[in-house]
Structure 1
Amino acid sequence: MSFSGEIKEELSTLVPAAHHCRLAETAAILLFCGKIILTETDSCCVKIQTENLPVARKYFTLLRKTFNMRAEVSVRKSREIRYYSIVIRCDKDARRLLAGTHLMNPDGHIDGDIRQIHNSLLKQNCCRRSFIRGAFLAAGSVSDPEKSYHFEIVCSTQEKAEELQSLLTAYEIDAKIVMRKKHYVVYVKEGSQIVELLGLTGAHVSLMQLENIRIVKEMRNSVNRKVNCETANLNKTVSAAVRQVEDIRYIQRTIGFQELNEGLAEMAVLRLEHPEASLKELGDLLTPPVGKSGVNHRLRKLSLIAEKLREGKEE
């Protein structure tokens, strides 16, 4: 099961105790995957369709617990995908559902399109969280956090997208909107903010799973950065040692070590005998021992001597 599927499975079992929260969640599901079907006789039915069984199960439960309403359930398979449809065919029940979720026009008129949520359903914090949960169940998804961080909810209109964005912004979630084909997608890319979103919806098990993945990834990245840094430093050390050995051998071939003072000659011999040694290790081999800065100073003087010898040869 995908990570999105696991989240929806978890959220499908979370049914709010408060009636007003159930109304908000039901309204969100209808708003984001619902459809009003009007007949020639002006009667209506309300339908939702989803590929996700837990979502269908959750909506069915909300209808029963909130409205004491039964619905017709059907399953259709197309190209290995199952589509679950839940339909309220009774005109009276359909109108009661739309009125209860404030998705009917104030004058009682039904125009066949569920356009926006009524603010009266979002007055309390618990109801706003229930609405976000319903919106995610109906039209949301989260990418595999092992690969990337991406949370999105697909909206059929710009109006719905902007309302949802505004709702998320109130929780300091930096949600953005992008148009994809004919839909408007509200998305969040920051891992920590996706964690916040999961907390808002009540998906605490999935939240902990995501947090664990984030911690492991951050530790892995930290180790990689440290290894890369140490590798870079090691490469610099090796390159410097190779250049030093080349310079010392050039001095040995041209004028010999007898032309060097005792300290430089001793350092030249040690570097040739221990080409892989660090500055500290070279300093410890000297008698008396010399610090890293002292060793570096002598090696730089040897390199300058080699450079002058090369310049003199070219002239």
Structure 2
Amino acid sequence: MENFTEKLKQEILLESSCENCAKMVFFALLYFSSSFEREGGRMLLKISFPSIYVYRKIFPLLSSLQLEKDDLQCVYNRKNVIKRIELIIRSESFEDKKLLEYHFNKALIRPFLKDACCFRTFIKTVFLLKGSIVNPDKQYFLEINFGGNDKIAGMIIKRLKKNGITIRKNNREESLMLYLKRFDEIIRFLHVLQCPKFIMFMQDRSLVKEIRNNTNRKINCDMNNLNRTVNTGISQATLFQEILDSKYYGKLDEISRRLIKARIKNPDVSYVELGEILELTKAQVSYYIKKINRKYLKYKNNLVNS
């Protein structure tokens, strides 16, 4: 089964366009995928990566900060497949660079988010860590789990709005989720992530989906019309058989008598097809059927009252 989230994340590239881009990668890890642990009287920062390919995308920029790595661990699941990568960093390395204060005061990153390349790097890293997208054949839905980072989410919402993207928010199990459900806004968000191949993939799936829906709609419409034609024809044939067996039939003109016999023989055809059999137009067929129905109803009422 194709994993569309992985397909999208594989295309995301992290590049250092300015000296602050590497810091934005670290801040995203700090807020969304890290925890502090005390070991042997010293503080360690444990950073978790959801997969090997995410680790390989992020680590080159992270390494440019020259943080002192204490350990690198692979956590396996029951099937002995790597579940996540854990990077342990010594507290001294980021304390010297004054990076820790950004953990306690998240508003400090606001100036960085105003810069286009820094914002792009930050949102790319956040999506690599916490983002997902649903199979576009089923529905259009992209979301990012912001956990308890309400302040960061607020900054991201405002920044994306400048890009013409109105991202919605929802609380799920004490986690703040930002999500998109409209196709055009998901495409604009993918432009922010700089994923042209996935954009083409989405547009191709959207076109196929639209063609399929239009085809199904036309088939359903044709089936409804056919059912309506058949039901109408059967009810008319039943009534016309009653007229044929009555004395009223002898009072009808030749066209009406021919029409009654043709409808009884062909209860499932449309007015157009019935007209072709009798060499009449659709409008003429409709006129004579209404005329027959109206006059026969009047004839029956007169019989009852007499």
Counterpart for residue 232 of structure 2:
240
1:161 alignment partner AA? A
2:49 paired residue number: 50
- Asked if the contact 2:37/2:43 (under 8 Å) is kept, the reply is yes
Verify the 8 A CA contact 1:25 1:132 in the aligned structure 2. Answer: no
Who is 2:94 aligned against?
94
SS in 2 for 1:118: helix
Could you report, residue by residue, the CA deviation over 1:11-51 in whole angstroms, capped at 9, with x for unpaired residues?
1x44344433343344223322133446796x643332132
Using structure 1 for the length normalisation, give the TM-score: 0.84
The answer on whether the counterparts of 2:244 and 2:260 sit within 8 Å (CA) in structure 1 is: no
Whole-Å Cα distance in 2 between the matches of residues 16 and 284 of structure 1?
75
Q: Tell me whether 1:304 sits opposite 2:294 in the alignment.
A: yes
Structure 1 position 195, deviation (Å): 1.9
Matched, 1:294 2:284: yes
Shift of residue 277, structure 1, vs aligned partner:
2.6
Q: Which amino acid aligns with 1:189?
A: K
Q: Structure 1, residues 132-179: CA drift from partner, whole Å, max 9, x if none?
A: 111111211112222222211111222232222222222222211111
Which consecutive unaligned segments of at least 5 residues does structure 2 have?
none
TM-score normalised per structure 2: 0.87
Aligned counterparts, 1:1-315, within 5 A: 2-11=3-12, 13-37=13-37, 44-64=43-63, 66-69=64-67, 71=69, 72-80=71-79, 82-89=83-90, 91=92, 93-95=93-95, 99=99, 104-105=101-102, 113=104, 115-116=106-107, 118-157=109-148, 158-255=150-247, 257-286=249-278, 289-311=279-301
The 1-side partners of 2:105 and 2:133 are apart by 25
- Work out the CA distance in 1 between the residues paired with 2:285 and 2:98: 84
- RMSD of equivalent CA atoms: 2.6
Unpaired runs of 5+ residues, structure 1, are: 106-111
Aligned-residue identity in percent: 25
Question: Does the 8 Å CA contact 1:284/1:290 hold for their aligned counterparts?
Answer: yes
| In 2, Cα distance between equivalents of 1:117 and 1:135 | 17
- Asked whether the 8 Å contact 2:44–2:89 carries over to 1, the reply is yes
Contact 2:48 2:84 in 1 (8 A): yes
Q: Distance in 2 between the 1:181 and 1:253 partners?
A: 73
Name the CA distance, whole Å, in 2 between partners of 1:97 and 1:63.
13
Q: Deviations over 1:183-211 (max 9, x none)?
A: 11111112222122112101222222222
Does the 8 Å CA contact 1:141/1:152 hold for their aligned counterparts? Answer: yes
Number of equivalenced pairs: 300
